[in-house]
Chains A and B, each alone.
Chain A
């Protein structure tokens, strides 16, 4: 960790505090992952539960993992990590029955839940019951005797459903048998297994309350009644004897086919139109102009927005994604006057990003200090990747499941392959030299090359009239903030030493000592750095002004602090806040700007496709909340490929 340099200190009040913050967070993180007391069985259990119940969010609804030492009758003794249950009462009659519940109820998002119990010893009489019960049920009973409790009893093989009298159900069970209990929250039934064989559900006898919302949370439960009875539970610690995954696969297939065969009847035409509209609007939203046009032609649909508008938005987005936020702000102000003035939050976000990009050395305000080929100065990037990516870090609604439709609809320029190769070459080189750089940068340059094939031809707007070769160069520039670091040269004109010198003279904040450092603050140019600091002050001023005008804004404050914190480190790219410099971070602001522009044009700020996706995801989550088990097999990501 580096302490802030004196020259920048006045600008960065409170930065040391943030540094210690980060320090603390780092410390906490390392403690968490470094804990060696992670035993094998635990790991096995976690893996199995994750595989069986992928839809369960354990932070909200934890899965049962052992018997509860609190939720049991006094005649019950627990051992072996609360997995073994033994009876320690008198066992004279049914009044001496005793039960224990698992630590947690069965979450509805399981869809299908299963656990097994091995009879270690049947004890004196083998009066054992295995099943389910609700919280608050009397523990001085065997499962099945009370309301909301269900049990399969070993002595007579009967099944008890909230009643003191059982019904003939299956065989008896005794020492050595493995009894399983499967809860199906889709059709609200339950069945038991013995030694891996399903004993079946007699629907009339075993079905739960038909309306599950009235059904309280059910806990795995076991009850014993005579001395010497010992049973071991398996909540997933070990492989199950019954092939529950096979059973689940059947239900998954059932639900998927139910979805696939959802009757649409006469409305086939309507559905087609809706789907086409969704695709088209998605393409338009993200500015895939040529693709959208081709699609519209092929499907004979209309596009609401006119082409120029799409292209304008596309241009601005490209600028943001290329890190040239300053230019993007200018372009927005020019093309959509008043937009940013009416949305100071957005403007502030953009400016913050501009500052980050200055640090990065990609914003044109700092780039102009470096000698660039005049040709590329006034040309826009071919077409950087505009589509949102699936980012692990970016769980934003816009991003879920959106594929980058890079298909070029047949408008393939001849040099496509050539340029493609070139980019991959560049990016892979950078990836090897700077392992810390985000993996997305590789994707960027690759998709750039394919994207560039579709948007360029016959474009009416002047700025788009760049040749393919120029675009290649440009694209290199734009991704170079991070990826081209291996050469330390922005566009091939600077020599290595010159940059180092410039560094030593102007900044001198310790960067030069670190000869391994591959990237330079503001591209390593002193004038640029000064401009950056100047800009920082303006930003600070803007923040204060906004604060006066609209009151304190915690988000703004944090944004500003995070941005300024970058300067506190010798190598901002490898610092706790360095993630900001990742080009992927441009996407959020890019999409915010795009949405704002669309909104100002009275167009939807989100593509309907994304809305539908978001709604579906929400809906599935809501299903889990209202205890509709089929949600576990109807997860949205099952249908996104």
Chain B
């Protein structure tokens, strides 16, 4: 229909006319835009735009046409970016003419807010950000476009730092009270992306004054209920991020009485699906570390039952009535579900009553169970997070978890899941393997040991910890059979590798596993008879190494357990070096270590056992009695008691 004669652009006298025609032809017509790009108009327009010899009017028209082209499809934007439109437009910003600058900025804005544009392009030339900052004072349009670009292109801590170092806060703060709503809104969005998980920015923000008013108060005003939802939500995000970054206390009124209720309102049925998702996610993030906020939120506006509605999309009504609505609902259904799971997880992370309330919500456990096997990884992850949060409750582990056999989908989830899911799932599994959990038995039967052992070989410390932790829980007061199975499956090599793990948590849990394995006399003797040498080596190594008090205490406890064995005792008694170590720790400045070492000695000299006399004699020779005697005078009552009991063994 409409054919473009791009060559017209090369004839000076026709340029303007052509441009004008082009502009009108492409506005609102994606096909024409694509046509024009295919015909090669972009390089020509860019050439004209960059020619300082062409008239400003023409250059502005070029920027306008390019702006219009960029409003098209994602493919259009890709072609534009491929033609190096960004450096050309950024170069254009150096011109002094405001109209031209605004046209360039408008086009840049449209390109940068597209998901297909690499945001890094904004930061390649280090002079760009300072120049954009300086343009903020030029007009409301430049303010709107630039803040919108910043808000979309600040994706990493590095970006935050670059913007912060170029005075983003001082330059953008005054825009929060701009007469233009768009400017206020984009400025607000800038602050929300700048403050996210950034303590430096957040700490600076609390001290900023806008027209004599504290920034947090400006945000509070923006959360007033008659303000547009978008503004309320974004302001609540800003305050949430500032709070999480430690710049605002969690008991501050602006959090407790303003931000939290505002975010709860965002979860209500009246809000759009997108808003409900964002509101729930932000709220979950806000109260994650604070039990008081969790308690308040749990009673505000019936949040717990309000969230149950998040699972009702697409509703049966939308499927029948109109296809458009169904499409919309479907698109957001996953997002809604994962947001609700996240919020439940956050709500229930500390308080037993809240957990109870959540599990009592209609079909909650069923929803989690089906969430664990959903196709969307986001939903799966959120569901398992929620499950993990609830699994911290002894009562729930005993009741609803068992009733709904959550271990089944959980085990399934553990097969071939990405690491982040694995971390949460294995963490939950740790709790399900607790001794009192009725799920422990069926899980054991499902061959979980192999899986957990393979986790301990993972590169991720979190997975290693969870794997060994779960094994530790499993070994607690377990049958001999299970213990042997664990040792066999794990292999001593791996066990000792874990004992030299750089991650203290892994080390601690491995020691815990050892301790659990080495409990009850027959088990001790059996394991020590097969692995005694290695274990004693490992213990020596740890006691000699640079380790924390907790690690050494745990190790001494293992030693005490070994000393409780019938045959295992000899491994210590014949090891003078080890006895010297125990002696050393009995005189240590830390009471916990003294106590553990004394335990060990006490076990060695225990009267009723075979050969106790010889052991007592040997130890008396080594000077242990004197030490014990000294310890009976210790100020710590536990230590004192323990030493006295040990002394009694000699007296009897």
Q: Which residues of A contact B (CB under 8 A)?
A: 170-171, 194, 196-200, 202, 243, 246-247, 249-250, 252-253
Chain B positions 218-266 with a Cβ under 8 Å from a chain A Cβ: 224-226, 257-258, 261
A638 CB to closest chain B CB (Å) equals: 13
List residues of chain B with CB within 8 A of the CB of A243: 257-258
Q: Is B296 in contact with chain A by the CB < 8 A criterion?
A: yes
Partner of B225, one of A170, A197, A246: A246
Kindly list 17 other residue pairs between chains A and B, CB separation below 8 angstroms, not including A197-B299, A250-B226. A171-B299, A194-B299, A196-B257, A197-B261, A197-B296, A198-B300, A198-B301, A199-B300, A200-B301, A200-B302, A243-B257, A246-B224, A246-B225, A249-B224, A252-B226, A253-B225, A253-B226
Partner of A247, one of B225, B299, B302, B303: B225
**Contact A198-B226, Cβ < 8 Å, known A170-B299, A171-B299:** no
B596 CB to closest chain A CB (Å) equals: 45
Majority DSSP secondary structure for residues of B touching A: helix
The interface centre, meaning the residue of A194, A200, A252 with most chain B CB atoms within 10 A of its CB, is A200
A44 CB to closest chain B CB (Å) equals: 21
List residues of chain B with CB within 8 A of the CB of A246: 224-225
Contact B261 A249 (CB under 8 A): no
B295 CB to closest chain A CB (Å) equals: 9
* In the complex, the 8 A-B pairs of residues with the closest C-beta atoms, listed nearest first: A200-B301, A250-B225, A253-B226, A249-B226, A200-B302, A171-B299, A246-B225, A197-B300
List residues of chain A with CB within 8 A of the CB of B302: 199-200, 202
List residues of chain A with CB within 8 A of the CB of B224: 246, 249
List residues of chain A with CB within 8 A of the CB of B301: 198-200
Contact A198 B225 (CB under 8 A): no
List residues of chain A with CB within 8 A of the CB of B305: 202
8 A-B residue pairs with Cβ-Cβ distance under 8 Å, sorted by A, are A197-B299, A198-B301, A200-B306, A202-B302, A249-B224, A249-B225, A253-B225, A253-B226
Q: Compute how far the CA of A344 lies from the CA of B183 in the bound complex, rounded to whole angstroms.
A: 65
List residues of chain B with CB within 8 A of the CB of A200: 300-303, 306
List residues of chain A with CB within 8 A of the CB of B306: 200
Q: Compute how far the CA of A250 lies from the CA of B262 in the bound complex, rounded to whole angstroms.
A: 12
Chain B positions 264-315 with a Cβ under 8 Å from a chain A Cβ: 296, 299-303, 305-306
Interface residues on B, range: 10 to 19
Q: Which residues of B contact A (CB under 8 A)?
A: 224-226, 257-258, 261, 296, 299-303, 305-306
A400 CB to closest chain B CB (Å) equals: 26
Q: Compute how far the CA of A250 lies from the CA of B271 in the bound complex, rounded to whole angstroms.
A: 14
A558 CB to closest chain B CB (Å) equals: 48
B253 CB to closest chain A CB (Å) equals: 9
- Closest B residue to A197 using CB positions: B300
- Closest B residue to A202 using CB positions: B302
Q: Compute how far the CA of A202 lies from the CA of B302 in the bound complex, rounded to whole angstroms.
A: 8
- Closest A residue to B299 using CB positions: A171
List residues of chain B with CB within 8 A of the CB of A198: 261, 300-301
- Closest B residue to A242 using CB positions: B257
Q: Compute how far the CA of A249 lies from the CA of B224 in the bound complex, rounded to whole angstroms.
A: 8
List residues of chain B with CB within 8 A of the CB of A199: 299-302
List residues of chain B with CB within 8 A of the CB of A249: 224-226
- Closest B residue to A191 using CB positions: B301
A309 CB to closest chain B CB (Å) equals: 46
List residues of chain B with CB within 8 A of the CB of A253: 225-226
A615 CB to closest chain B CB (Å) equals: 28
B269 CB to closest chain A CB (Å) equals: 10
- Closest B residue to A253 using CB positions: B226
- Closest B residue to A193 using CB positions: B300
- Closest A residue to B225 using CB positions: A250
List residues of chain A with CB within 8 A of the CB of B303: 200
- Closest A residue to B298 using CB positions: A171
List residues of chain B with CB within 8 A of the CB of A197: 257, 261, 296, 299-300
The interface centre, meaning the residue of B257, B303, B305 with most chain A CB atoms within 10 A of its CB, is B257
List residues of chain B with CB within 8 A of the CB of A196: 257
B272 CB to closest chain A CB (Å) equals: 16
List residues of chain A with CB within 8 A of the CB of B261: 197-198
B301 CB to closest chain A CB (Å) equals: 3
- Closest B residue to A157 using CB positions: B299
- Closest B residue to A169 using CB positions: B302
List residues of chain A with CB within 8 A of the CB of B258: 243
- Closest B residue to A249 using CB positions: B226
Q: Compute how far the CA of A198 lies from the CA of B305 in the bound complex, rounded to whole angstroms.
A: 15
Q: Compute how far the CA of A196 lies from the CA of B255 in the bound complex, rounded to whole angstroms.
A: 13
Q: Compute how far the CA of A196 lies from the CA of B264 in the bound complex, rounded to whole angstroms.
A: 14
- Closest B residue to A246 using CB positions: B225
Q: Compute how far the CA of A253 lies from the CA of B226 in the bound complex, rounded to whole angstroms.
A: 6
B298 CB to closest chain A CB (Å) equals: 9
Q: Compute how far the CA of A174 lies from the CA of B300 in the bound complex, rounded to whole angstroms.
A: 17
List residues of chain B with CB within 8 A of the CB of A171: 299
List residues of chain A with CB within 8 A of the CB of B257: 196-197, 243
B404 CB to closest chain A CB (Å) equals: 23
The interface centre, meaning the residue of B224, B305, B306 with most chain A CB atoms within 10 A of its CB, is B224
A416 CB to closest chain B CB (Å) equals: 31
List residues of chain A with CB within 8 A of the CB of B300: 197-200
Q: Compute how far the CA of A246 lies from the CA of B254 in the bound complex, rounded to whole angstroms.
A: 14
- Closest A residue to B300 using CB positions: A197
A181 CB to closest chain B CB (Å) equals: 15
A197 CB to closest chain B CB (Å) equals: 5
Q: Compute how far the CA of A197 lies from the CA of B258 in the bound complex, rounded to whole angstroms.
A: 10
A477 CB to closest chain B CB (Å) equals: 45
B121 CB to closest chain A CB (Å) equals: 40
List residues of chain B with CB within 8 A of the CB of A194: 299
Q: Compute how far the CA of A457 lies from the CA of B261 in the bound complex, rounded to whole angstroms.
A: 63
- Closest A residue to B232 using CB positions: A250
Q: Compute how far the CA of A243 lies from the CA of B306 in the bound complex, rounded to whole angstroms.
A: 22
- Closest B residue to A196 using CB positions: B257
A201 CB to closest chain B CB (Å) equals: 8
Q: Compute how far the CA of A198 lies from the CA of B261 in the bound complex, rounded to whole angstroms.
A: 8
Q: Compute how far the CA of A252 lies from the CA of B258 in the bound complex, rounded to whole angstroms.
A: 19
- Closest B residue to A200 using CB positions: B301
A432 CB to closest chain B CB (Å) equals: 36
B266 CB to closest chain A CB (Å) equals: 13
Q: Compute how far the CA of A246 lies from the CA of B302 in the bound complex, rounded to whole angstroms.
A: 19
A240 CB to closest chain B CB (Å) equals: 11
A255 CB to closest chain B CB (Å) equals: 11
B394 CB to closest chain A CB (Å) equals: 23
Q: Compute how far the CA of A243 lies from the CA of B225 in the bound complex, rounded to whole angstroms.
A: 10
List residues of chain B with CB within 8 A of the CB of A247: 225
A630 CB to closest chain B CB (Å) equals: 15
Q: Compute how far the CA of A368 lies from the CA of B301 in the bound complex, rounded to whole angstroms.
A: 78
List residues of chain B with CB within 8 A of the CB of A250: 225-226
Q: Compute how far the CA of A250 lies from the CA of B224 in the bound complex, rounded to whole angstroms.
A: 8
- Closest B residue to A256 using CB positions: B226
- Closest B residue to A198 using CB positions: B301
B433 CB to closest chain A CB (Å) equals: 34
Q: Compute how far the CA of A202 lies from the CA of B303 in the bound complex, rounded to whole angstroms.
A: 11
Q: Compute how far the CA of A250 lies from the CA of B225 in the bound complex, rounded to whole angstroms.
A: 5
B276 CB to closest chain A CB (Å) equals: 15
B259 CB to closest chain A CB (Å) equals: 12
List residues of chain A with CB within 8 A of the CB of B299: 170-171, 194, 197, 199
The interface centre, meaning the residue of B224, B226, B306 with most chain A CB atoms within 10 A of its CB, is B226
Q: Compute how far the CA of A120 lies from the CA of B224 in the bound complex, rounded to whole angstroms.
A: 31
A5 CB to closest chain B CB (Å) equals: 63
Q: Compute how far the CA of A492 lies from the CA of B476 in the bound complex, rounded to whole angstroms.
A: 113
- Closest A residue to B305 using CB positions: A202
- Closest A residue to B260 using CB positions: A197
Q: Compute how far the CA of A199 lies from the CA of B299 in the bound complex, rounded to whole angstroms.
A: 6
A134 CB to closest chain B CB (Å) equals: 26
Q: Compute how far the CA of A592 lies from the CA of B306 in the bound complex, rounded to whole angstroms.
A: 61
Q: Compute how far the CA of A199 lies from the CA of B297 in the bound complex, rounded to whole angstroms.
A: 10
- Closest B residue to A250 using CB positions: B225
Q: Compute how far the CA of A553 lies from the CA of B316 in the bound complex, rounded to whole angstroms.
A: 74
B607 CB to closest chain A CB (Å) equals: 57
A172 CB to closest chain B CB (Å) equals: 10
- Closest B residue to A257 using CB positions: B226
List residues of chain B with CB within 8 A of the CB of A202: 302, 305
